[in-house]
Amino acid sequence: MVKFWITLLVALAGTPLRAQQLSMSLGVYTGFTSSFTLDDGINQDARYKESYGLKFAPIGFNFGMDYEGFGFVVSPGIINLGQDFYVVNTVGGQDGKRYIDLQYAHIPVAFKVHIINLSFFKLSGLVSLGAAYLVHGEEMVRHTESKLKFPQEVYPILPPDYIVQYDGVVVPLVDEYIIGEKKDFNSFQVFAAAGFRSDWDVSNHWRVSFDFRMNYGINEPRTADYLAKLNAYQTLYDIPGKRRELFAQITFGISRYVDFEKSDREREKRLKGNSKRYQPMHSPGTKTRNTKPKG
C-alpha cells in the first residue's frame, strides 16, 4: 500500500499542469498526539475510567509539493499512541492506572486544498491515508490494594490472593501486570485522517508549518490469537469488545523550499510563439541593394 501511494504521488506530480507554479519543500517536524482508545470492553468495565493526556511524537520528515490551488505532502515519522485509564474501586476512588502504549513508524500521504493562498502564507484543508508499522506495543495495569468489580466470567482464573466478596474482589498491590505485549498487537495498521495545515514562508527559502489532523485506525490493533483469549475470558484485566484507535496529532515543522516557475511545457510554448528572427528596420532614406557588388 505504501508503494501505491508513493507511486500515485509521483505520477500526480509529473502530470503536466497548465499555467501552474510549483513549490517543493523538504524538512523535519515534531509534535504531540492525544489518543482515544475506542474499546467496547473497557467502556463496559466498571474497573476503569478514562484519562486524557499528551504523548510525544518525537520526529518526522516531510516532503511537500504545492501548486496554485492544491498540493501534496508525505510526512513519515514516529508516533506514540494509546489512551490511559484510571483503575476505579467499588466506591469510585482511583487506585491505579491501565496503560496502553503503542509506537508506530507512520507514513501518511496527504492531499491538500488551499483555502487561503497568499504569496507568503497558505491555509489548507487536507485528507490523508497512511500505513503504520508497529515498533513497540505494551498494555499493563498498576494499582494499590483495593476492592474492584471483576466480571464473574473471570472468577475461575483469579489468583489465590484475590478474595471474592459480595460487593467485589479484594486485590493485593499490583506493581506491573502485563495485559498485552508486542506479539499481541498487529504489526500493520492503516490510519485515515482529515485536518488543516498552515505554511508560513518566513524567508525566501525557509518555511514554517503547523499541522492538525484527526486520525482513525481502520483495523483492529490486536491479533486474532489475543482476541480468542479475550472472548474466552482468559484475560484477568480485560473483557471482550471491539477496539479502534483514534488520535489527534499536532505537529510543528520547518522546511527548506524552492519555488519553480511555470512548467517546461508552458515555457516551450512561449518560446515557440516568439521564434521569428529579429530583423532590424532600414534607416529612413536608404535603399536596399538589389545587385551583387563588383569583384
- Residue 132 has, within 13 A of its CA and on its CB side, a CA count of 31
Give the pLDDT score at 148: 97
Q: Is 260 helix (H, G, I), strand (E, B) or coil?
A: strand
Q: What is the Cα–Cα distance from 101 to 95, expressed in whole angstroms? A: 20
Give the pLDDT score at 110: 98
Q: Where are the alpha helices (DSSP H) in 30-106?
A: 40-44
Query: Could you read off the pLDDT tens digit of each residue along the chain, which spans 295 residues?
Result: 445 444 444 444 444 444 458 999 999 999 999 999 999 999 999 999 999 999 999 999 999 999 989 999 999 999 999 999 999 999 999 999 999 999 999 999 999 999 999 889 999 999 999 999 999 999 999 999 999 999 999 999 999 999 999 999 999 999 999 999 999 999 999 999 999 999 999 999 999 999 999 999 999 999 999 999 999 999 999 999 999 999 999 999 999 999 887 555 554 554 455 544 444 444 444 444 455 555 4
Mention every residue, 6+ apart, whose C-beta is less than 8 A from residue 161: 171, 172
Q: What is the Cα–Cα distance from 166 to 155, expressed in whole angstroms? A: 13
- Tell me how crowded residue 157 is: count the other CB atoms within 10 A of its CB: 12
* Grid coordinates given for 213: 489532523
Give the pLDDT score at 192: 98
Give the pLDDT score at 37: 97
Give the pLDDT score at 36: 96
Q: Residue 293 carries which DSSP code?
A: P
The 146-148 sheet, strands edge to edge:
146-148, 168-171, 163-165
Is pTM beyond 0.85 here?
no
| Torsions phi, psi for 288 (to 5 deg) | -85, 130
Give the pLDDT score at 183: 97
Give the pLDDT score at 15: 44
Q: Is 154 helix (H, G, I), strand (E, B) or coil?
A: helix
Give the pLDDT score at 19: 41
Which domains does the chain carry? 2-143+182-222+243-268 (2.40.160.20)
